[in-house]
Each structure stands twice: as structure tokens, then as C-alpha cells.
Amino acid sequence: MDRPLDTLLADLDLPGHRAVAGHWLELYATAGTVPSLAEIDPLHFHRALPDAWIVDLTDDGRFCFRLMGETLQAWYGRNTKGLFYQDLFPAHVVPVLEQQSRRVLERPQAGFQRVHTNVPDGAHMPRAFERLTFPLRDKAGGRIVHILGNSIFNRDAGEPAPEREYWYPIP
């Protein structure tokens, strides 16, 4: 479901997500455009860093992990730097992730998903997680080719929160 960008913070309740979103939204408000990778300052969301990640769209159209926080690396059991979606996720999940990633970059828009599972019976795949995604321009401020994300697996909030998938088109 599409929602206005100015409702994003109200839709988030996890502190890490709110910190990442607040930083990105502040940069966007200041510049009036999608921020560049060079503008991201992780000190603005230091408590969210274990759950943060950045993916690059490569020249051949694939998605490659630039970095991934410690919590996520522990979940996947390895260093993911330089790995493509195909290297990390089951083959039947890759097209879904690629479609969502292209949606973030090409439209552009921010995304927020809260789901109970995305890979039935998959090894090292979350049963419940929340993912927040933002587009970023290259370091020169030109093309939108990076995704800043924050993923929190197995939410510890008692009963699982209702599933949601929100998209926030960027004006």
C-alpha cells in the first residue's frame, strides 16, 4: 500500500528503524532530493548499526552487499560484503528481493515491510522480521544505485505485530 512520505515515522515503532528513518528524512528535507551515499552519517543511528545494511546495484543489474551489520552477519553466518543476492538467499526468494529493490531505486520510494515469514522452512531465514529500505544516490549525487536498509529479525514484542507492507513514494 502506498502512503505519504510524511507518515513514515508514525508507522515505525522500533527505535533502530526510527533512527535510520529520521536521519534519511532529515537529509531529504535539507536537500529536497534523495540523499547520496556520501551524506549518510552512521553516528546519527549508531544503535541501529548492527541491523543496518547497504546494497549496491551493479552495472550488470545485480544487487551486491556493500556492508551488513554484525547482527545480520551472525544470522547469515558469514561476512556478506561483496555477496550478491544469489549468493545469500534461496533461488526462489531472489526474484522477490530484486523486484522490491528495483521498486526502491527506480520509482524511487522508501519501503517498510513487517512479515512473519518470507521463506518457508528456509535455513537462516527469518520467521518474523521488519525491514526498512531507502534509496541513495551514488557518492557524486547522480544516479540512485544504493539501498540503505535496516532489518530486525524475530521481533521480541510479545505477540507478532500485524503484517504490513507500506511504500512511500518520494516526491
β-strands 109-115, 63-68 pairing: unpaired
- Overall residue count recorded for the chain in this entry: 171
Q: Which domain holds residue 108?
A: 5-169
Per-residue confidence band for 16, with pLDDT thresholds at 50, 70 and 90: very high
Whole-number Cα distances in Å, 89 to 39, 67, 106, 140? 29, 16, 22, 30
Residues contacting 129, CB < 8 A, separation 6+: 114, 115, 118, 151, 152, 153, 154, 155
Per-residue confidence band for 109, with pLDDT thresholds at 50, 70 and 90: very high
Q: Identify the weakest region by mean pLDDT among 12-16, 35-39, 96-100, 112-116.
A: 112-116
Pairwise CA distance, residues 72 & 95, whole Å? 21
pLDDT recorded at residue 160 = 57
Q: Are 51 and 63 in contact (CB under 8 A)?
A: no
pLDDT recorded at residue 121 = 45
pLDDT recorded at residue 65 = 97
Cell of 23: 536521519
How many of the other CB atoms lie within 10 Å of CB of 148? 25
Cell of 138: 551514488
pTM given for the model: 0.90
pLDDT recorded at residue 69 = 94
Of 78, 76, 80, which Cα lies nearest the Cα of 125? 76
Domain count, the chain: 1
Cell of 5: 512520505
Cell of 132: 526498512
Q: What is the CATH number of the domain that holds 26?
A: 3.30.450.20
Q: Are 128 and 116 in contact (CB under 8 A)?
A: yes
Average pLDDT over residues 113-137: 73
